[in-house]
Homo-oligomer: A and B are copies of this chain.
């Protein structure tokens, strides 16, 4: 039935509108200070409308996180599958992450700024895409260890988090300095990989 399809499509449109507005407002004010009113206003709907699409504020936040992470993961996976060498894979992993983040700075601000909050950490673990991302990173590092690119002395899971932390930190610093310098974020992927693999010591 065509009518049903259009209805469904309209519904998706509203949902997308709200998600887009939420992304903007969350990024602007952070999770706590962002209000449903503001999000609704930004999306040009009434407050109540938001609740027709999302159970509550948390669900809205989750849905956003979920969507963004899912996209990033699928992009990354696709590109990585095209190469065999683990070092190449790591390079692609970092590069694609940076490209995606640079394109989605709004979302990115939430992820970085509230990502390390413990409650948000627990949220991330509840988020299936978040878990998938974490697992994928760990697997990537296990493969790197198997191929002899990363030392087997380290616990893959721990190393995966350190890898992520280095990346986040470099991004954060870039964000803070963004006004002054006009460096592309993606240009920092070499730095990140070098730091992670070879460390900061003089050679």
Task: Give chain A's interface residues, CB within 8 Å of chain B.
Answer: 30, 32, 109, 112-119, 121, 148-152, 154, 157-159, 161-166, 168-170, 172-173, 191, 194-203
B162 pairs with A195, CB closer than 8 A: yes
A201 pairs with B150, CB closer than 8 A: yes
Given contacts A116-B117, A194-B199, 11 further A-B contacts (CB under 8 A): A30-B117, A32-B32, A148-B202, A150-B201, A151-B200, A158-B173, A165-B166, A165-B168, A166-B166, A197-B201, A199-B199
Measured CA separation A116–B120 after assembly (Å): 12
Q: Which residues of B contact A202 (CB under 8 A)?
A: 148-152
Number of copies: 2
Q: Which residue of B lies closest to A195 (CB)?
A: B162
A162 pairs with B169, CB closer than 8 A: yes
Most central of A112, A113, A166, A200 by chain B CB within 10 Å? A200
Q: Which residues of B contact A114 (CB under 8 A)?
A: 117
Q: Which residues of B contact A195 (CB under 8 A)?
A: 154, 159, 162, 199
Measured CA separation A173–B165 after assembly (Å): 12
Measured CA separation A170–B161 after assembly (Å): 8
Indicate which residue in B115, B118, B161 contacts A30 across the interface (CB closer than 8 Å).
B118
A161 pairs with B149, CB closer than 8 A: no
Q: Which residues of B contact A113 (CB under 8 A)?
A: 116-119, 121
Q: Which residue of B lies closest to A148 (CB)?
A: B202
Measured CA separation A150–B164 after assembly (Å): 22
Q: Which residues of B contact A116 (CB under 8 A)?
A: 112-113, 115-117, 168, 172
